[in-house]
Amino acid sequence: MSNALELLSAHACFGGEQRFYRHASHEIGLPMRFAVYLPPQALAGAKVPALLYLAGLTCTEETFPTKAGAQQLAAELGLALIAPDTSPRGAGVPGEADAWDFGVGAGFYLDATAAPWATHWRMESWLMQELLPLIAQALPIDGTRIGVFGHSMGGHGALTLALRHPGRFKSLSAFAPIANPVRCPWGEKAFTGYLGADRTAWGTHDATLLMQQQMQPPYPGGILVDQGLADKFLLEKQLLPEAFEAACASTGQPLTLRHHTGYDHGYYFIQSFMADHLRHHARQLGL
């Protein structure tokens, strides 16, 4: 299976390697790109745990490796970092690049069911059924010790994939996630386009509603969420972290929701608290 990965570039980084790959995705039906940081321990032959990072609207597989500042601590901890692209590209769907918050760069980490998106916009199946197994087989990564985190649209993806696939991820966190998408403009637009106008199907991709349905806390070690209070999207009611906080309280799920005065929605905010997230995951992954 390792032959299915095309290494595009590799860069020495804190004793490890930042790599960029492409592969022909069966689930998507198009070439897909992703980044992997391998810490020094992996290059020395050890199978290391990994974090899957899901980026936000308009981002690519290059955003996290170049902007988040995660590699130095990941090298010290012995954590691999996986950063996939945020949508299919080159599908040729009419209107796919007309909006920054829908279509290209805006896959929302779900499988679309509505035409014309259903053919290629299969981000959930790509990640869960194809990419993670492929990486675990092809690279020195322990596929049984994977955590997930993300930012904004990717925070939505991290929370929902973690809840939709019980036991698959051992740890969970998010930066400024779209936490209750059925109630915000971004989510309504994306879900209408990808899933259709019938709102009854939307709830299966909403972290707040999924958490409300839990019979027991899915992450007893705790979930970490950071939110900047100068985030314009928080003020515009796109994120709604308080709804997810209430859902966690209702099911007994331990949640640390931290509010940070003066911080906005961008990667300076993410850099500022990245170390806390890596250590949060490292503890739950047994490092």
Please tell me the distance from the alpha carbon of residue 258 to that of residue 263, in angstroms, as a whole number: 12
Task: Assess contact for 195 and 205: CB atoms under 8 A.
Answer: yes
- Residue 265 bears catalytic tag: yes
CB 71 within 8 A of CB 165: no
R_g of the chain computed on alpha carbons: 18
Given the residues 152, 156, 173, 277, the one annotated as active site = 152
**272 carries an active-site annotation:** no
> Among candidates 184, 143, 142, 176, which has minimal Cα distance to 159?
176
Asked if residues 117 and 26 have their Cβ atoms less than 8 Å apart, the reply is no
Are the beta carbons of 210 and 182 closer than 8 angstroms? no
User: Can you tell me whether residue 159 is helix, strand or coil?
Assistant: helix
Cα→Cα distances 173→10, 46, 75, 82, 284, Å: 27, 25, 19, 15, 11
What residues are paired with 84 via a beta bridge?
Answer: 34
231 is a catalytic site residue = yes
Among residues 111, 206, 226, 231, the one annotated as catalytic is 231
Q: Which of 23, 120, 265, 277 is catalytic?
A: 265
* Residues that are catalytic: 152, 231, 265
